[in-house]
Structure 1
Amino acid sequence: MSEESMQDAAAAARHARYGRLPERIRFEDMTEAAEASPGAVRGAHDPEGSWKYYSCLALDLGL
């Protein structure tokens, strides 16, 4: 009987801690809108600087 009461106590403790879901978060609270600066163009192709982002395993290993 003591084992059964321990299980009931453990179940009661779990229910007290995890008995309900957390409060729902609205979509508007999860997103943020920001204005883009007119001078900065992200993702623009720069042929002279493209070597900086080139990665090749064979070249890294010196093959």
Structure 2
Amino acid sequence: MTHRTHTQETPRDAADAADAAVVRRQRFGRLPERIRPEDTVETKPATRPDPARDTYHADEWLIRYCG
């Protein structure tokens, strides 16, 4: 048994489809502008190390956990 589905477009459906195609073409008709790789990277100047913050203290774990 073969089942066929046939859909006939009415003139109204064809006009709606054409309008939808125009809207789709306007929205997606071309690719967005290219973004250069150098525009995707943010650079910040490096800061000088803060000796009060970045010094290593061998017994810090004693102060934090045993004090």
Look up the equivalent residue of 2:22 and give its one-letter code: A
Match of 1:12 in 2: 22
Structure showing greater radius of gyration is 2
Identity rate, percent: 33
Structure 2: unaligned runs, 5 residues or longer = 1-10
Aligned residues: 50
Look up the equivalent residue of 1:24 and give its one-letter code: R
Give the TM-score, by structure 2 length.
0.53
Structure 1: unaligned runs, 5 residues or longer = 52-63
Regions of 4+ moved over 3 Å: 44-51
User: CA RMSD, aligned part only?
Assistant: 3.2
Give the TM-score, by structure 1 length.
0.56
